[in-house]
Amino acid sequence: MRRFWLLFAQTVTVCLGILFIINTLRPDWLRIDSVDDLNATQSSMLPVASYAGAVQRASPSVVNIYTSKRVLEPVLPLLDDPELARLFGNLPGFSRSRRATTLGSGVIVSDDGYVLTNYHVIESAEEIEVALADGRISNAQFVGADPDTDLAVLKIDKDGLPPIPIADTGAARVGDVVLAIGNPFGVGQTITIGIVSALGRNRLGINMYENFIQTDAAINPGNSGGALIDTQGRLIGINTAIYSETGGSLGIGFAIPVGVAQKVFEDIVRQGYVTRGWIGVEPQDITPDLAQAFNLAAQEGVIVARIVPGGPADNAGLRVGDIISEIDGDPVDNTAGFLSQIARLEPGSLAKLNVLRKGRKQHIELQVGQRPGRREGR
């Protein structure tokens, strides 16, 4: 053992001697001359993350949208009162006309000029103008919209339009890196980065049908209708809303998943409106008090609060107070999920419901109808 430590001490002494000689004769071998050299050394050791390729693939397909409409504004301060404005606002001398403009973003989804954007970007617009990433400008034709998902389809007449690559439905995962492309505050096309914070966000009170991708990529006014892409430059969502108390980005943004956007786009282009299932009931969530009143073990399913006379549910014998727990074998969690499940059903198809009525399970089969609603189209 003593011999081992002696050998170790001699080896260390020799190494230190060699290091001293090298430092004396060639000190530049062991010295970094500047901070730049240090940074260069460190940079060569670290992998470089860049999403330039994804941006190059997707950004030519993202457009800026400018809309304008004629609005009346009161001349007299007293007309700021809604009731006075209603009585006198349209009379000559009490109001004046001006052009109000708004801005947003859109995504080219086909090479023949179809553009997806948010409905609230172009709602009530009298003129719609689209600015392409290459600097060209075109007037846009309004094709149709689906206010229930806040999506709209426009058409522009230009050559050489690059459609955005589209990701597979359900490709987004929590934790994936994403980039938002749009025109925030009208400053021009801007890229922000973040991750997918959550999937399937609903019950936010933004749209009738909610199934949002939540992201912390900065989304600001003007980003609405723009693209949320993955690191391969593929579209995974249409940016649509932010959570904010100030009007600026707070790191909580929402995008409509590409699967929802594709169905809306295809239905509007094909028939001018979106096809959705409907059974004619008004559902209600099961609260703890209701669960206790109905002697339920869990707060799962929805209670039928109202039935539309003559609707599919009425014709099938569904009753007020019934608790719907499953649709075609899929569990029902709450009213938001229930409405989305019904909307996905094909009108004319048969749906099988598992129902709890006065403590007894029943199976009810009904024919799905076409959901009535407002249609914004050609």
List, by residue number, the catalytic residues: 120, 150, 224
The reported pLDDT for the residue numbered 293 is 77
- The pTM (predicted TM-score) of the whole model is 0.74
**Contact 210/336 with Cβ under 8 angstroms?**
yes
Alpha-carbon gap, residue 188 to 86, rounded angstroms: 38
Which pairing describes strands 95-108 and 62-74: parallel, antiparallel, or unpaired? antiparallel
Sheet holding 127-131, edge to edge: 137-139, 127-131, 62-74, 95-108, 114-118, 151-155, 141-146, 376-377
Would you write out the chain's pLDDT as a tens digit for each of its 378 residues? Answer: 666 666 666 676 767 667 666 666 555 555 545 545 545 555 555 556 789 999 999 999 999 999 886 655 555 454 455 554 555 555 555 555 555 577 899 999 999 999 999 999 998 888 999 999 999 999 999 999 999 899 999 999 999 999 999 998 888 899 999 999 998 887 888 999 999 999 988 877 777 788 899 999 988 888 899 999 999 999 999 999 877 666 666 778 999 999 999 999 999 999 888 988 999 999 988 888 877 777 777 777 889 999 999 999 999 999 998 889 899 888 988 888 888 889 888 899 999 999 988 878 889 999 999 887 655 554
Which pairing describes strands 177-182 and 62-74: parallel, antiparallel, or unpaired? unpaired
The reported pLDDT for the residue numbered 378 is 47
Q: 334 to each of 74, 130, 147, 354, how far by Cα in Å? A: 45, 40, 22, 15
Alpha-carbon gap, residue 151 to 340, rounded angstroms: 16
The reported pLDDT for the residue numbered 258 is 94
Which pairing describes strands 177-182 and 376-377: parallel, antiparallel, or unpaired? unpaired
**Contact 343/371 with Cβ under 8 angstroms?**
yes
Domains contained in the chain, CATH given: 63-155 (2.40.10.10), 177-269 (2.40.10.10), 277-376 (2.30.42.10)
Alpha-carbon gap, residue 193 to 179, rounded angstroms: 4
